[in-house]
Structure 1
């Protein structure tokens, strides 16, 4: 992913999804995220960019956990005949993970239901909502 891809991705997100008024993006120190273009883009849109410390996967705990679940549930269980088949399987898993699978860390709800209860509907365009308090996701 290049810095232009990061900006294009976030442009798409801002155009198509309901988002909280205050957004934090935690990323690693990859060149695409430390690039001045990306940092300026986030500043202009009042997005707070947080960098993880090098060699600290625990700071990316949510994505690390997701990758682990994805590996166990999909990658280890299936052998794909094509990239298309792999992509379709991953798409089905992502829909299940975000819309059906319950998560104990968010009160035994799917991520979609959790966000809906906090006023965020990822299917509505351009509806700004207050900052999400995701303290429920931490051990604090």
Structure 2
């Protein structure tokens, strides 16, 4: 307006009812790129530190910032700790974005399915699926499961099928156990936990469990535990070697695992 109408700043501000002090204000805020970079570096190393502990470290290093500024930058960078992780869970995946599996044994998904024998005795079936090939390395029914039983089953299967890089699981007691965390740590496997109450975080295994229940569990009576294992193993081999899967171009899962379409490894 000053240039177009050749008037002073005082008259222009008066016409617009705009405070001249606001017009003349110059920000004195220092460049915070370095501070942002340091906060991100701290959080990459200390993944369980909240903004208060980050601020303490910044004070020790002489950054001279107040805690409100630290919190604002911490929040803007998206570093909030949204989920509490149980103690001793060393191999939990934290503050990392998920990536699509790029090959077999890259990402597995694991969960439990409940059923019962014909006499009414309960069954718990450990289901595992490879999210890249949709290959099912194991279906293991038992009357009850503990963390050490999950480790035993995984170790037996992985010795034949190979160890995955990541396993997606929910917050079940068997999956947050010390036994499974120690096994994952020793084998270099990352446990990627779903958020509580968010089954869509592990959608691959949820979709598989629906097919497993509709095509196997609802189609059979299981007389004994041995009978359940036999029928589930037959269905697992059918699923891996014969059943076309729409998500992988109507191929069979085993074709993405073995180039020669070899049969599934024994349980």
Decide: shared fold, TM above 0.5. yes
Please, what is the CA RMSD of the aligned residues?
2.6
Hey, what does 2:159 align to over in structure 1? 15
State the SS of the aligned residue for 2:250. coil
**Offset at 1:111?**
0.9
Q: 1:122 to 1:43 in 2, by over 3 A?
A: farther
Hey, what does 2:192 align to over in structure 1? 50
* Aligned equivalent of 1:37, options 146, 170, 179: 179
State the SS of the aligned residue for 2:168. strand
Hey, what does 2:223 align to over in structure 1? 82
Hey, what does 1:127 align to over in structure 2? none
Structure with higher strand content: 2
Q: Which has the higher contact order (CA 8 A, sep 6+)?
A: 1
Hey, what does 1:129 align to over in structure 2? none
Post-superposition Cα deviations, 1:61-82, rounded to whole Å, max 9, x if no partner, equal 222112211222233344x261
Q: When the two structures are superposed, what TM-score results if normalisation uses the length of structure 1?
A: 0.70
Partners of 2:241 and 2:254 within 8 A in 1: yes
Hey, what does 1:63 align to over in structure 2? 205
* Aligned equivalent of 2:239, options 88, 97, 104: 97
Q: Distance in 2 between matches of 1:59 and 1:26?
A: 9
Q: 1:123 to 1:94 in 2, by over 3 A?
A: closer
Hey, what does 1:114 align to over in structure 2? 256
Q: Distance in 1 between matches of 2:242 and 2:218?
A: 21
**Offset at 1:12?**
1.1
Hey, what does 1:3 align to over in structure 2? 147
Post-superposition Cα deviations, 1:55-108, rounded to whole Å, max 9, x if no partner, equal 122122222112211222233344x26135444332222111111111121122
Name structure 1 gaps, 5 residues minimum: 125-140
Partners of 2:237 and 2:264 within 8 A in 1: no
Hey, what does 2:39 align to over in structure 1? none
Name structure 2 gaps, 5 residues minimum: 1-144
Q: 1:122 to 1:18 in 2, by over 3 A?
A: farther
Q: Distance in 2 between matches of 1:13 and 1:88?
A: 17
**Offset at 1:18?**
3.6
Structure with higher helix content: 1
